[in-house]
Amino acid sequence: MSKPARILFVGPDLKEVGGVSSYCKAILDESPTIDYFGFPVKMKSKPLLFARVLFRFMKKLRSTGDVVHFNTSLNFSAIARDAIFMLVSLLHSRKVIVFIHGWDIPFQKSLRGIRLFMFKSVFNRAKSICVLGKVFKEELVRWGFDCRIEVGYYCFVNEAASVRARAYSRESETGPRILYLSRIVKEKGAFELADACGKLKEDYPGVVLDIAGDGPDLAELKEYARKRNYDFITFHGNVTGAAKAALFESANLFSLPTYYGEGFPLAITEAASFGLPVVTTRAGGIPDIFTDNKNGFFVEPGDADDLYAKIDHILSDQGLWESISSENVRFVKRYFSPDLTARRFAQLYMECLSD
């Protein structure tokens, strides 16, 4: 009787806050026999730490990992790091699967000539590359990748799944609450959302914009809000666990008007799992499964007026809000079940080992 395949799942330390670590936790909860190798995300600036982690990874490979499954992102630091770990795995005769979660557009545009050749010469040796949207698969094919490329494998767990947000009512004593939860990077649309809510304040005097997250542009966003007297904004910083769930539960609508290099932002899924309508853009893999006027609305990137109009449209129509809310709860169960995704990965591992 043959031994069961040994799977080594590689990704960020599970104590890290972020979409990739949350994804990995969800898969591991459904796959108790999978080994996990976590790395500190800040080791890129610490060569001695990188060397120690690489040595620990090589020791791990001696006892496990018929298939090594990398969870990475298309940016310079992640690709440079995981190229080394991947080459080590290949030298140990392991089958490799690569899941590209994030997709940095500036880095994509930089992949030309020798840089593209080096990237492809390593990552095209994977048995399979998984991406979160058709647009990413098309780009890999355009670059000349001929390995197996899969789209999908979405996964999310809402630990407060029984909690549902509520529609905003004009009869309410308080104004509507709009929630933004993501890294504070200009291209993720928080500045435009602040302006849209500034306009909403004329129709909804008690409107509140809750901004949760940290990032390189947080200080600039706070100064932007101060100068424009946007006193309706509450900054929460990074939130997890019960604090995060409380923000989703108290919100009436979620918006992530991003034009950043996205895969599929898990915050959208989190919001949908609470039954919140979502206002977002067609960035990355979002349009592959998010349907306009069904899960919420798409807006044009960088257009605060369009944001205002779509948010107002949802808030002012309780029937529409309820329809979208119910659909979003079904949407998460249909596409983002960790059990279903774990079973799909198990099938992919078997197929890669049989090649």
Question: What mean pLDDT do residues 152-156 have?
Answer: 84
Position 262 scores a pLDDT of: 74
- φ and ψ of 257, to 5 deg: -85, 60
188-206: pLDDT as tens digits: 999 999 999 999 999 999 9
CATH of 7-155+337-354, one of 2.130.10.10, 3.40.50.2000, 3.30.565.10, 3.30.70.100: 3.40.50.2000
Q: Do 7-155+337-354 and 177-335 fold alike per CATH?
A: yes
Q: What pLDDT is attached to residue 16?
A: 82
Distances (CA, A) of 288 to 11, 30, 51, 281, 291: 25, 25, 39, 12, 8
- Where do the structural domains in the chain lie, given as residue ranges? 7-155+337-354, 177-335
Asked whether the predicted pLDDT for residue 158 surpasses 70, the reply is: no
Per-residue model confidence as pLDDT tens digits over 98-122: 999 988 888 999 999 999 999 999 9
pLDDT at 66: 92
Local confidence band at 260 (pLDDT 50, 70, 90 cut-offs): confident
Of 337, 257, 328, 319, the closest CA to residue 296 belongs to: 328
Q: pTM of the predicted model, to two decimals? A: 0.80
Look at residue 337 in the predicted model and tell me its pLDDT.
85
| Assigned CATH class of 177-335 | alpha beta
pLDDT of 287 above 50: yes
What is the pLDDT confidence band of residue 296, given thresholds at 50, 70 and 90? very high
CB 80, CB 110: distance < 8 Å: no
